[in-house]
Amino acid sequence: MRIAVFDSKKYDKASLSQANLPHRHELVFFEDRLNIQTAALASGFEVVCPFVNDRVDAATLEQLAKLGVKLVALRCAGFNGVDLNAAAKYGISVTRVPAYSPEAVAEHVFALLLTLVRKTHRAYNRVRDGNFSLDGLVGFNLHGRTFGVIGAGKIGAATMSIAHGFGCRVLAFDRNPTAERAAEMGCEFVSLPELLAQSDIISLHTPLTPETKHLINANTLAGMKHGAVVINTSRGGLIDTNALLDALKSGQVGGVGLDVYEYEEGVFFEDLSGFALEDDTLARLTTFPNVMITSHQGFLTTEALENIAEAVLCEVSAFAHGKPLINPVTV
């Protein structure tokens, strides 16, 4: 099948081309994000392969349907950018990659966390400037701290496993709490208010839905343990960024690690080093010494890219041969 790969980077081309060798589909790569303005590029393709910040809304899907596209094969776990009702209306199937490498994202949680709590980013810059003073670099142990995970799916579970290795007490909030899962994951399922009030570190691992949008807001931030550290490697829209700024200024939140950002579309994944940053909110976040931001790179490991590419191409092959889709996304 002919696959139009949107929002593609060098690493996408390399991993997808390698994984495609046994599948023998025709891959064409576009740097453009998929949206209503770029949908025409999909002319002559049966499959489009968008990424996390592409906007596959009703208008885009209508255009894709007119062009003969039959499958939207997402190469990410999140599907909030796709209008599933419109996809069903136009007879376009949607698939995703729900578990490309839970460990890749979970490990990035701790890359952000350890940088924050041990201030290694500040120490690195000091040493490069010849400043070997330790003043202002006092951190805290993870061992013995309470680690709260919101969303106990595969990535949440992998994060809990690592937290156990650091000697943390692990709490979890999930829509499907059971005693069996708690025993398997070594966590204690609690209500969201309990988790917020007791946790020294809070890590977000839920999809972005209308119900979870701004899950972290002024009220939930006020209910957190004073000085708690918040890590988000899931979806930017889970956090009300303006409320987060207020909590940082007041000291209610002691540190923030973000691999995703509420308004990241058009900014993350791009080299804007030669331009002024137009997003005032993001610019303000970067001024805080206790905020660590990475540009949605939690998935970016060799293993994860290989898994993503193979999963996408297996979905396309299944679709091409009329077999059941492996990870379909429906209304």
* Catalytic residue from among 23, 46, 235, 262: 235
* Catalytic residue from among 46, 55, 96, 264: 264
Q: Is 296 a catalytic residue?
A: yes
Cβ contact 51:24 at 8 Å: no
Q: For the sheet containing 228-232, what is the strand order?
A: 188-189, 169-173, 146-150, 201-204, 228-232, 253-258, 291-293
Q: Is 235 a catalytic residue?
A: yes
Please identify which residue in the block is written with the tokens 């002919």. Answer: 2
In single-letter form, the type of residue at position 77 comes to A
* Catalytic residue from among 46, 296, 310, 315: 296
- Reference 327, options 72, 94, 9, 117; nearest CA is 94
- In angstroms, the CA 85 to CA 167 distance is 45
Tell me the β-bridge partners of 292.
257
Residue 247 has a CB neighbour count (10 Å cut-off) of 23
Residue 112 has a CB neighbour count (10 Å cut-off) of 23
Active-site residues, by number, are 235, 264, 296
